[in-house]
Amino acid sequence: MALRINNEAPNFSADTTQGKIEFHDWIGDSWAIMFSHPKDFTPICTTELGYMAGLQPEFQKRNCKVIGISVDGVSDHERWSQDIEKSQGHAINYPLIGDPELKVVKLYDMLPGNTGDTSEGRTAADNATARSVFIIGPDKKIKATLTYPMSTGRNFDEILRLLDSCQLTAKEKVATPVNWKQGEDVVILPAVSDEDAKAKYPDGWKTPLPYIRIVPQPK
């Protein structure tokens, strides 16, 4: 089943490098980012997981938990983590799900349902589509998804920016324009009447077009 924005993120039980989890219980009242990689001990994934470890404090500031996943076992994750710390300068400080029976990656439609039930003998190329990012809200619904080709390292600063936008627009009736960053101007949603907008923004707004109402980011 294809997963789309506003679908509930499927719940599951799994072993991780920080113990067994029930996914929804693990999320709790936080936001969460689950990101997958095709295979341990591969070059681009090594750089990605190391960078995410360095960025982890920024996600923590935003009440967002981070969890990684691949079809490798937990013991492989633990051995690989040593390489990541050695080469990237950051120790893995978030859990990594071991999914050697392919249950979670199939549940999240990262691999076809007829893929089989074991990672044994599978190469990184076999798992190329298991390279996705899911941003999940405290309501356990999917807020955003991204999938990258295996040859292109992900921009985790962009994922942080996307999280900022998702969190802001979840609580305010605004949208974020192109290349928006935290603290920059935003756009009032078209569904908000001018009367309601004046109550929220008594200083008014910029209107380059009748349907674009630009205001400072709400505090």
**So what's the pLDDT on residue 219?**
85
pLDDT tens per residue across span 13-35:
999 999 999 999 999 999 999 99
pLDDT tens per residue across span 96-150:
999 999 999 999 988 755 566 666 666 666 665 678 999 999 999 999 999 998 8
- CA pair distance 140, 9, nearest whole angstrom: 6
Q: What's the angle, vertex CA 138, arms to CA 136 and CA 140, rounded to 5?
A: 55
Binned at pLDDT 50, 70 and 90, residue 5 comes out as: very high
pTM: 0.92
- Composition of the chain by helix, strand, coil, percent to 5: 30, 25, 45
**So what's the pLDDT on residue 123?**
64
Query: Which tokens go with 99?
Result: 């999914």
Going from the N-terminus, what domains does the chain have, and what CATH number goes with each?
13-156 (3.40.30.10), 172-215 (3.30.1020.10)
User: Do residues 99 and 21 touch, judged by C-beta distance below 8 A?
Assistant: no
Closest Cα partner for 174 from 188, 160, 185, 162?
Answer: 188
| Residues acting as catalytic residues | 45
Q: Residue 81: which residues within 8 A CB-CB, separation 6 or more?
A: 17, 91, 92, 96
**So what's the pLDDT on residue 2?**
81
